[in-house]
Structure 1
Amino acid sequence: MAFFLARRLLYLLPVLLAVSLLTFLIASLLPGDLAYTILGDQATPENLAALRRDMGLDQPIWWRYFGWLGNALQGDLGRSFRTGQTVLQAVTERLPVSLELMLLAQIGALAIGVPLAIACAVRSGSAFDRFMTGSAFAMLSVPTFLSAILLIYLFAVELGWLPATGYVPFAEDPLANLRFMVLPALTLALAEWPGIMRILRSDMIATLQEDYIAMARAKGLKASRILFVHALKPSSLTLITITGINIGRLIGGALIVETIFALPGIGRLLVSAILTRDLIILQGVVLLVGCGFVIMNFIVDMLYAVLDPRIRHGHA
């Protein structure tokens, strides 16, 4: 296991380096002059030249990259020229909101998708299976913003059960926090459960046809034990992959959901940075999100080795 972990870490480092390079190039090659954007009305030729010199914008791009990477490795991702706040401070303030949203959304998607997948696999080809499969296809075509609007109209406007927008920190009032997070999390969960249900359903149908499942049935094991112990675990490898990939999808969905529900998370910070052309914040947030996504997939690889020993021994 230690050798498998070391080998995966060697693969991880070049990927993280590539993410940092692409992030720097995307922000550096955008049209417009960062110095002119920062100075605004005070953008005289003398001020522009002085600011470019102070920020290193007059240096070759490769030199700027290594300088920026060195600062990033020390935890210095820059400072917003509009608010004066450092990137790490801005992200630290908003990260708990986005993490809570993604965690609740993932739990909700799994709570919906996994039981439905198991039920469909057991009743493969039945009317219930066809209905749920069709419903999953239909849900995949519904955009996130439309689900958000419909949920707000139903639960906030018509029924008045939940608030439409706003946020209360969990430490301040846990119950109020959950009330404000239900609709955003449900919006993302409705977009994620169809993929989970379809993938797990297909894998479980194939697993239930294996010889060792027939042997377990012949031994007289309970149907629940066969289903949840012998069939669900080997069928979960693809589910773990989908769950890891969904982190990236949830980050993308959070851009819309956090804006609609006025949540002060990473997605809303990123949208604000784009609208105000705050390239320092934009660059830092994209780097942190990209590295987080890569690390999450690394954790998924480790879970593969835990679930299936053949993978870490190279016999998969």
Structure 2
Amino acid sequence: MRAIMPTKTNIMLTYIVLVFIWASTPLAIVWSVSDLNVLWAMVLRFFIALPLAVIILFVLRVKFPTDKIAVHSYIAGSFSLIGSQVFTYIATQYLSSGIIALMFGLAPIIAGLIGCFAFGQQLNRLQWLGMAIAITGLAVICVGGASQHIHPLGIGLMLISVFTYCCSIYWVKKVNADVQPIAQATGSILISTLVSLCLLPFIWAHAPTHIPEIKSLMALLYTTIMASLIAMFCYFKLVKNIQPTTLSLTNVMTPILALVIGALFNHERISLMVVIGAMIILSGLFLYFYRDIQANRRFSQHMKQQLRQK
């Protein structure tokens, strides 16, 4: 028996929650590794998240399918967790939290390129122009951030992370398993935890030898509960109900919020060149989605007219 389709209001609220969590998660990741090895912080995140996800599954009495298609979907979803996050955590050594979030803002463009070359989706001239402008903005950030906590290696790691995340969106959508969002999140966390176990022999020498400071612990709990559980529930719920490129729009909204959060709570300095580069990237993204924005506006106006006539 398939789940009931959520309402538009429900989807909108889910969207807002996801944007807020993803805007604050980069700073939480940076804080969590302040007193922990970067990969240990990631591994502990999944070790804590898994039992919590299982408890939620039992409390809500949600069915957890283990058939071939469901397992395939869990594996696909894990690429948006450990598949993507392993590069993000390593990148924290080279980038500030705001720049990490800004890099995820490129997800719509990368998702569009995957759709174009892998699935034959057509991109218009305005979208190609938007891509070119966004890449120019990224180059400006690389040059302008040379004297700050912005390193080309970190940029490269984040590009791999975002690419893996975008592939996961399409993969889960293509599998289209009849799995509820919380079960999908739990299954993907389970796969991520199993992969984490395989990493332990390589990072055992860097195992924590003391209890981390309170800021690092609280940030670890935040990434576990908010980013690994609540955000993943929202994410897989949206994957089931909206288009991949529309889902990627969440990453357009988070960069500015993340830059502000990083500046306010972590005293991250933002140079003029980085601000200019960020504005160029966001301008490119605006052009990329200009036709979609116009189409949504016309649809909203049409619906208002129909309501008035009634």
Same fold, judged at TM 0.5 (above): no
So what's the TM-score if we normalise by structure 2? Answer: 0.28
So what's the TM-score if we normalise by structure 1? Answer: 0.28
**Structure number with higher relative contact order (C-alpha < 8 Å, ≥ 6 residues apart):** 2
